[in-house]
Amino acid sequence: MSVSTGAVLNVLKTYEDPYFTTQDLVARGAIKHLDIDVNTVKFTVELGYPAATIENQIKADLKALVEGIEGIDHCEITLDWAIVANRTQRDMPSMYRVKNIVAVASGKGGVGKSTTSVNLAIALAQEGARVGLLDADIYGPSQPMMLGIPEETRPEFVDEKHFKPIFEHGIQTMSMGYMVTDKTPMVWRGPMVSGALQQLLTQCMWNDLDYLIVDMPPGTGDIQLTLAQKVPVTGALIVTTPQDIALLDAKKGIEMFRKVDIPVLGMVENMATHICTNCGHEEHIFGEGGGARIAEEYNADLLGSLPLALEIREGTDEGKPTMVKDPDGKIAAIYRDVARRVAGKLAERGQNDSNSPVQMIVTDA
């Protein structure tokens, strides 16, 4: 019995993608090169987001669906990410060799924004994407220490104008911390800080990035304004903790990005619970459900909640973030899920913007 293409596509429509929820695989054009040869089906799936660590599970789920069709004995699936560049605020031209820029921000300090940034970047890389991490905190750069990069490390300069990113833990990185020592105070006024950010961003020779994660300083000051006005950002991630004061500042961060036409992809709540290492009792010592309430109020998604855990702090202090120190652990699984959700949100936006031409700014040639 000959099986029709329509029968296969109808089955594939029923697959529920947890990271791309607005359209099924067929509706968004993710099924490519579908071939039916007697009782064998072959096709490629372009997910739109990286998913290397769950690739086998996705293939198994799709294979089970297709091989459940009467007359089909075998199914061969190729999985591809096919990550696209997204529209930026006010349709600003995208950066050369950088598809998507994601700002990780918070309204206040001390909520774990830098820790989230570094683990998010490494998680995306582990999922199969090409990732960069820009430390945009000019006054207090922390990423070199979190990545375990020796203090004396300096970027390689090219043609006296550009410099190469420092490669560590599978990601390309750049920070003011590579230019100065940890004892050098940056006593600069706003315009100088804004200029330094632009130099770090545009004079770094990023090498074909799918995602550039920008670890923002806290607040809504000069750096944030420069980012909104002069950097082609495709989305923002807000980091908060459950305390009321942190949530109040998180609201300000969301409002700031909305005013400058940068979509908020979602929120990450740190220190959501504490689990006693002695008895295992779980307690919401900083409040409960705050991140979820703010997300609901602003029609945004709570992409993940992380516990208050000693191992997270120890890892970054040692230069081995959670995604490196314990990549198979429970906390790493949460970061990885957040990474796929962020990438999935961008994939959904890319699908909506797929008919819009993408312009480029050449900055390293």
Give the Cα separation of 341 and 19 in Å (integer): 5
Contact yes or no for 3/11 (Cβ under 8 A): no
Three-state DSSP at 43 gives strand
Residue 258: which residues within 8 A CB-CB, separation 6 or more? Answer: 264
Detail the residues annotated as belonging to a binding site: 107-114
Angle at 223 between CA 106 and CA 229, to 5 degrees: 110
- Pull the structure tokens for residue 276: 């006693």
| Residues with Cβ within 8 Å of residue 263, at least 6 apart in sequence | 234, 235, 236, 257, 349
**In angstroms, rounded to a whole number, what is the distance separating the alpha carbons of residues 202 and 163?**
10
Please give the Cα distance from 141 to 181 (Å, whole number): 10
Q: Is the separation of the CB atoms in 45 and 8 below 8 Å?
A: no
Q: Which residues does the annotation place in the binding site for ATP?
A: 107-114
Closest CA to 135 of 98, 92, 174, 188: 174
**∠124-125-129 over CA atoms, to 5°?**
85
Tokens representing 291?
């991140």
% helix / strand / coil in the chain, to the nearest 5?
35, 20, 45
Count Cβ atoms within 10 A of the Cβ of residue 187 and give its class: 0-12 exposed, 13-18 middle, 19 or more buried: exposed
Quickly count helices (H) and strands (E) in the chain: 11, 17
